[in-house]
Amino acid sequence: MHFAYPPRKTSNPPPFLPRSSKLPTLRRSRLKIIAIVGLVFIFLVYLISRPRSGHGRFEQHKPSGKPPVVVVTVLDESKYSKEYINAVKDNRIQYAQKHGYQTFFPKVGDYDLKSAPPSWTGVVAMRHALTKFPDCTYVWYLEQNSYIMNPQLKIEEHVMKSSRLEQLMIKDHPVVPPDSIIKTFSHLKGQDVDFVLTQDREGLSSGSFILRNGEWAKFFLETWFDPLYRSYNFQKAETHALEHIVQWHPTILARLALIDQRIINAYSKGTKGAEYKAGDIVVRFVDCLATSPKACETESQKFSQQWRTSFKNS
């Protein structure tokens, strides 16, 4: 074939020039920018992925709140009658069942105290409770010679709710009455409190106190249980050891809230501290301890009918 003229151009040319390369972004002029962005990206990846000298924070176990409260009572079966012990147990169990709590009843002699007075058992028992119930929120230590009188009150609302606690806290008050120069903190927030206890007329009372489960509680109980405190012959054993650590160690004082005695620790008679009035959560028999176990049992008779009826009615 032969044409006189070269073939005509197509009569409908494409509206645009064909691409020079497949990817429009890879044009030569942009290559520089892409290279720079790539370098910056690699640098960022390096920054993020390189070994970090400061490693992560230590995450302590967060209790899920099942059960919310564990009631701990150390029973002394060698000195007290079976009926009395059973009544005490029954009292705690009924209270716990009502609110979905748990109870824990270790016995005197369960733990090796290394020749320290048996009253120290309460401190280890609390530590043991934290081990047995790692997911509880609060642990309430209630001494054996006492009855829970008002089953309506829940620990986490009656005492430990932070707004309630902020009202209850006794601020800027000598930790050990009457004239310790160490005073409770005046700017403590409710959620920072891990340890709630009361004072009676003689000093701190370790017969009824509440601990919030956590690393701090373990630290506190283990420090309290230190063998050097146990061997020191404090006149009132663990109570005086408590008064000692609370006054000497600010990390403990900073987590402590003193509250009015009748909130968790009313006494059956007003000689040593605040006297029980109807509606208080707890009554403790303290005066009888000096005389004999038998005296405590008779003292408890006055209240045993009372708590049973109030539990039935509620």
**Tokens encoding 270:** 């007003």
Overall residue count recorded for the chain in this entry: 314
For residue 313, the minimal CB distance to another protein (Å) is 38
Residue from 95, 111, 267, 285 touching another protein (CB under 8 A): that is 111
Residue from 99, 244, 272, 308 touching another protein (CB under 8 A): that is 244
> Site map for another protein, 25-54, x if CB under 8 A?
----------------------x---xxxx
For residue 49, the minimal CB distance to another protein (Å) is 13
Tell me which residue of 205, 213, 286, 194 sits closest to 240, measured CA to CA: 205
Which one, 230 or 284, has the nearer CB to another protein?
230
**Count of positions on this chain that bind another protein (CB under 8 A):** 38
For residue 178, the minimal CB distance to another protein (Å) is 22
Stretch that binds another protein, among 27-35, 77-85, 203-211, 226-234 (CB under 8 A): 226-234
179 binds another protein (CB under 8 A): no
d(CA 259, CA 273): 13
Query: In this structure, how many other beta carbons lie within 10 angstroms of the beta carbon of residue 93?
Result: 15
Stretch that binds another protein, among 34-42, 73-81, 126-134, 177-185 (CB under 8 A): 126-134
For residue 259, the minimal CB distance to another protein (Å) is 24
| Angstrom distances, CA of residue 251 to CA of 160, 169, 211, 247 | 20, 18, 15, 10
d(CA 170, CA 172): 7
Residue 310 three-state SS: helix
The C-alpha angle with vertex 70 and arms to 240 and 202, in degrees rounded to 5, equals: 25
β-strand partners of 30: none
Residues 33/34/36/38 CA torsion (nearest 10 deg): 160
236 binds another protein (CB under 8 A): no
311 binds another protein (CB under 8 A): no
- Rg of the chain taking only CA atoms, in angstroms: 34
Sites of contact with another protein (CB under 8 A): 47, 51-59, 111-112, 124-125, 127-128, 130-131, 134, 215-216, 218-219, 222-223, 226-229, 231-232, 244-245, 248-252
